[in-house]
Structure 1
Amino acid sequence: MSSQGPPIIIRRKKVVHGHHGGSWKIALADFMTALMALFLVLWILSSATQEQREGVAEYFSTPLLTAIAGGEKQANTSNVIPGGGPDPTTTEGERQRIDRRIENRPTEMRRRFQDLRRRIESAIQADPVLRELRNQLRFDTTREGLRIQLVDTDKRPMFELGSDQVAPYMRRLLRTLAPLLNEVPNPISISGHTDSVPYLGGLKGYSNWELSSDRANASRRELVAGGLEPDRLLRVAGMGDQVPMPDSEPGDAINRRISLVVLYQQVADHIRNGAQGGDIGLPPAINRQGNELPTQEFLEGLRETLGAQ
């Protein structure tokens, strides 16, 4: 038996490489996510309409406490009765107060008016008879509300000459508008306008004042016959030839028109209460491009809307 020496033991040094850490990966991922979200928001804003952008702005302007509570409830009110209504177990009074405030927001009312205008234009476009009248409708937003003007042309008058007899296509148009006007809760004002061509008897007998009033009332009857709720009508007036259209001659056919105004609620309250002077908190005047009018331009538009009062 041969002798063996001690066993040979080979020791290898284990090299452990230090870890560099992965926090930079998390930071990079967060940065890329934020960058993607930014580009997504920019893309949405560039493709959204003005109404949609106003809606998003209004959503983010809602206080957090109000949003969590689902409205201005007990969380931010000092009233000991929940909701402020007559019954402590209900919030009817609170809902009515909140709805009225939202309803009176300028952005909400403008959005409602824009939707109404689109529905009217769609209804007219869908009717082959009314489609021929689309150039005789004028829409604009004044300090009173959404104004819809139905204007005459020499070839297609809305009424018989010198009479309040409604033309068949005018009757069809008014009865088409009636159910659409019912879709908004705002009161309605109707005013009749004539050109400056006088009657033979002058102002002593039947004149443009009576004619404009009669035509406004004839339009009112057609709207009610078409389904407009009678309680929605707040004012029916004849303006004679005192408020001609801008950039027109007093005798032009375009001055023979019916003006329907879907009133802001503040304006309707002002008319009902007979307030004299003072600031009633009217929304700013808006032109056809949706921009606020300067003061001088607003005064001219207000004179056009209200006339001699």
Structure 2
Amino acid sequence: MKADEKRPIIIKRKKGRHPHHGGAWKIAFADFMTAMMALFLVLWILSTSNPDQRKAVAEYFRSPLVVALTNGDRDSSSNSAIPGGGPDPTYTEGEVRNNDIRQESRRIERRHLEELKRRLEEAINLNALLKEFKDQILIDLIPEGLRIQLVDSDKRPMFEVGSAKVAPYMGQLLRIIAPILNQLPNSIQISGHTDSRPYAGGEKGYSNWELSAERANASRRELVMGGLDSGKLIRVSGMADELRFQGAGELDAINRRIAIIVVDSYERRSILDQHDKLMTPEQLQSPNPLGKTQ
């Protein structure tokens, strides 16, 4: 055997360090943990806040930047943080477009209310009973919507004196117009009004406040019996003699009236907003927040 064949085979392995990866991953991980902590903090705050506080937080994030900085009116602005959704706060083209859409929507709704007014007037002329009492049915458009007023007459009282008992002809009038009011999806509000004739017991006992409220509710029952969708009713109230008929004296019969208003969507939103402000957090969380009887 040759000498070269007896030499041991030596394998040399060089020890090297792993390449340096840098610390970028640590920054990314720290950002991730910070974001997760912020998320859980927000979730915890929301879980312990009441509905009013959550609504305020949501409204803050929906408010356009310029509106928030100038304490403007949120309802008149778009949903974008930048007006118009443009590249900067000075971009207004989309904002103008949103205003145009809202105005056009309101014009369309007003046209629908005008058409309902025409249908009611047509029904009055075609129905013998309604035509007979035409002078006691006043229909006009007001900022809140379409108003139908059924006014009293000394010759033909709508209710018994000092009572909420509906006269037969009044009940028939209400039942005839009820189906017509269903032709639009708009909500309905009813208010009762009296003259200024006081009760013997004064304001401490049964008064025009109770009487007007009971007459409004009696009218509501007649409308529902006539086919009015009860889900359309948004408010029934008694106004006593606080809103005298325009140009009428304190004791004039025309002050004794029932006002039925087909409210437009803007007035409905205003009524609900006022209602929410007066409710407690527990009532807002109730499955029946408006307090309607089932």
Alpha carbons of structure 1 residues 159 and 104: separation in structure 2 relative to 1, 3 Å = farther
Q: Distance in 1 between matches of 2:225 and 2:163?
A: 20
8 Å CA contact retained: 2:114, 2:141:
no
Q: Distance in 2 between the 1:218 and 1:275 partners?
A: 23
Match of 1:196 in 2: 196
CA–CA separation in structure 1 for the residues paired with 2:114 and 2:215: 27
Aligned residues: 180
Report the Cα offset of residue 275 of structure 1.
7.6
Residue 103 and residue 173 in structure 1: after superposition, are their counterparts in 2 closer, same or farther (change >3 A)?
farther
Matched, 1:220 2:225: no
- Map residues 245-284 of structure 1 onto 2, 5 A cutoff: 245-274=245-274
Distance 1:199 1:240 in 2: 12
Partner SS for 1:189: strand
- For residues 186 and 242 of structure 1, what CA distance do their matches in structure 2 show? 26
Tell me: CA distance 1:130–1:233, structure 2 relative to 1, closer, same or farther (3 Å).
Answer: same
> What is the SS of the residue equivalent to 2:172?
helix
Distance in 2 (CA, whole Å) between partners of 1:129 and 1:171 is: 11
Deviation per CA, 1:112-164, whole angstroms, max 9, x where unpaired?
A: 11111111122222221221111111122222111111101110111111111
- Matched ranges for 1:71-220 at <5 A: 105-220=105-220
Structure 1 residue identity aligned to 2:250 = P
Identify the range of structure 1 (234-243 vs 140-149) with the bigger mean alpha-carbon deviation.
140-149
Q: Measure how far apart 1:182 and its partner are.
A: 0.4
What is the Cα deviation at residue 102 of structure 1? 7.7
| CA contact 1:192–1:212 (8 Å) conserved in 2 | yes
Q: Shift in Å at residue 276 of structure 1?
A: 9.8
Give the SS at the match of 2:133.
helix
SS at match of 1:176: helix
Distance in 2 of aligned mates of 1:169 and 1:241: 24
TM-fit CA distance, 1:104:
7.0
Q: Give deviations 1:4-35, integer Å, cap 9, x for gaps.
A: xxxxxxxxxxxxxxxxxxxxxxxxxxxxxxxx
Structure number with higher helix proportion: 2
Identity %: 52
SS in 2 for 1:220: helix
The two structures, once aligned, show a CA RMSD in angstroms of: 2.3
How many angstroms does 1:103 deviate by? 10
Judge conservation of contact 2:192–2:238 (CA < 8 Å) in 1. Answer: yes
1:257-279 Cα shifts (integer Å, max 9, x gaps): 000011010110111122899xx
SS of 1:234's partner is strand
- TM-superposed deviation, 1:105: 2.1
1:97 aligns with none
Helix, strand or coil at the partner of 1:249: coil
Secondary structure class of the residue paired with 1:105: helix
Q: Which position in structure 2 is the counterpart of 1:284?
A: none
Q: Distance in 2 between matches of 1:255 and 1:246?
A: 9
Instruction: Give 5+ residue unaligned stretches, structure 2.
Output: 1-84, 86-100, 278-294
- Provide the secondary structure at the position in 1 that maps to 2:203: coil
Separation of aligned partners in 1, 2:230 and 2:239: 22
TM-score with structure 1 length normalisation?
0.55
Task: Summarize the alignment of residues 34-73 of structure 1 with structure 2, pairs less than 5 Å apart.
Answer: none
Q: For 1:224, give the aligned amino acid.
A: V
Q: Calculate the TM-score normalised by the size of structure 2.
A: 0.58
